[in-house]
């Protein structure tokens, strides 16, 4: 994501053509007073956390098709995944730090190892164009 450093984990694997979001910084004109959420991880190694959600959207993300044409130091890998179909609005969140140990991860850019204490920083929620129709 452009403005917010985030370590994102997904259920399943990533597909270079279909699972990607292009994110834009936004200045949200609408605010809400307060929001808190209990986030229960789908993957068992991640814990349930109670987090506060900041009251203005920080990024707008939209699904994109992507083909890696040049990758310095290697060849792009294609991995199976699911097609994304909704836009997302992303909010900064404040959650407790969590020690989840080391995670070896792979994507089309290669193999990675995540080894720090994890702190969730962003939540992205599905969004639609235009107002909600009752």
Identify which has the larger pLDDT, 13 or 41.
Answer: 41
Alpha carbons within 13 A on the beta-carbon side of 32: 9
Calpha distance 118→105 (Å, rounded) = 15
Q: Residue 120: inside a domain, yes or no?
A: yes
The answer on pLDDT for 96 being more than 80 is yes
Dist CA 123 CA 134 (whole Å): 25
Task: Give residue 87's pLDDT.
Answer: 87
Residue from 78, 68, 66 nearest 106 by CA = 78
Which of 29-33, 83-87, 126-130 is predicted least confidently? 83-87
Judge contact between 90 and 61, C-beta under 8 A. Answer: yes
Flag whether 6 is in a domain. no
Does residue 40 lie in a domain region?
yes
Q: How many domains does the chain have?
A: 1
Structural domain boundaries enclosing 108: 20-127
In a domain, 13, yes or no: no
pLDDT of 91 reads 93
31 assigned to some structural domain: yes
- Tell me the DSSP string of 23-46: EEE-------S-EEEEE--SSTTS
| Residue 112, domain member (yes or no) | yes
Q: What tokens were used for 38?
A: 């209990």
Name the pTM for this structure: 0.69
- Residues 51 and 66: their CA atoms lie apart, in Å, by 32
User: 133 lies in a domain?
Assistant: no
Is residue 92 over pLDDT 80? Answer: yes
| Mean of all residue pLDDT scores within the chain | 75
88 domain residue, yes or no: yes
pLDDT at 101 over 90: no
- State the Cα–Cα distance between residues 52 and 39, nearest whole angstrom: 10
- Alpha carbon distance 10, 118 (integer Å): 15
């Amino acid at each position: 994501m452009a403005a917010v450093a985030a370590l994102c984990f997904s259920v399943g694997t990533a597909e270079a053509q279909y699972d990607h979001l292009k994110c834009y910084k936004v200045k949200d004109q609408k605010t809400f007073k307060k929001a808190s959420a209990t986030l229960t991880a789908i993957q068992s190694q991640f814990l349930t956390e109670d987090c506060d959600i900041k009251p203005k959207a920080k990024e707008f993300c939209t699904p994109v098709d992507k083909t890696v044409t040049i990758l310095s130091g290697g060849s792009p890998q294609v991995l199976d995944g699911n097609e994304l179909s909704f836009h997302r609005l992303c909010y900064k969140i404040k959650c407790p730090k969590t020690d989840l140990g080391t995670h070896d991860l792979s994507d089309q850019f290669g193999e990675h190892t995540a080894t720090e204490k994890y702190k969730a920083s962003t939540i992205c929620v599905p969004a639609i164009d235009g107002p909600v129709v009752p």
